[in-house]
Amino acid sequence: MKNISEARFLNEMRSVSANMYRLGWDERNGGNISYLLEQDEIADFLDPGSVIRKIPLGFDARALSGKIFLVTGSGKYFKNIDRDPENNLGIFRISGDGSTAELLWGYADGGQFTSELPAHLMSHCARLSVDPENRIVMHCHPTYTLALNYVHVLDEKQLTHTLWQMCTECIVVFPDGVGVLPWMLCGTNEIGEATAKKMEAFRLVVWGMHGIYGAGKTMDEVFGLIETVEKAAQIYMLTCHMPRIGTIKDEELRELAESFGVSYRRDFLDI
């Protein structure tokens, strides 16, 4: 077996979590990431038949039976992931009956997966039904995105429209818009189910007064989605208290989307 420290998927997780912490998106143990792995990706590094221990999931995950995930740990600080991945991350397989996580590597100090695992796994199910290549679910607390929650109506059309108007690239990067949930108790099956329902239509979901969820094919794609929303939210927060003199008009947003050939939410424009 090769040393798992050489695995591309592990080093992607280490790199992106360090960057998210550096940007202030994941203070303390705020935020979590899950990465759906292929069997052949882990074959050189782990024996799938060697289960370290079984961790109860607390919900029915039979839809993902046999799937293998790399997931950040509960209570783990993002700033520590890069230097100590084996204690702060875990790789596990969903059991055949969907009731437990079969730990294959990590959580070496006796820990377990993030408390937000229901939202992650349910979101994976939703995104896989839309696009079988979606493998990443990422949750974090970007500063300006969170600040925006307190001064802007939390309506999907209005919030998406505002963000699209902040940067020319926005409608091209997330043409499907941003889903929105009201404040809900985190770490529950209920918020997991609500997030998954939104993930059927959106790759980005704002948790009111909490943070944002992103999903996609690669770490770069999902990080870039959240990064673009955060930049747009920052521009809004820097300008919302001043008179609006210029803006990107809806006709121009439509021109942008159609020029780049993206399928956008036409109902989110007032044309």
Which of 27, 38, 41, 116 is labelled catalytic? Answer: 116
Q: Residues 260, 265, 267, 268: is their CA dihedral positive or negative?
A: negative
Residues 6+ apart with CB under 8 A from 116: 32, 139, 186, 187, 192
Which residues does residue 72 pair with via DSSP β-bridges, in sequence order?
89
Give CA angle at 173 (269, 152), nearest 5°: 55
Q: Is there a catalytic annotation at residue 255?
A: no
SS (HEC) of 241-254: CCCCCCCCCHHHHH
Of 220, 219, 207, 214, residue with least CA distance to 159: 207
Q: Would you list the DSSP string of 46-110?
A: --TT---EEEE-SS--GGGTT-EEEEEBTT--HHHHTT-HHHHEEEEEE-TTSSEEEEEEE-TTS
Give CA angle at 114 (108, 116), nearest 5°: 170
What is the per-residue burial (b if ≥16 Cβ within 10 Å, else e) of 251-270?
A: eebeebbeeeeeebbeebbe
For residues 89 and 81, the answer to whether their CB atoms sit within 8 Å is yes
Residues acting as catalytic residues: 116
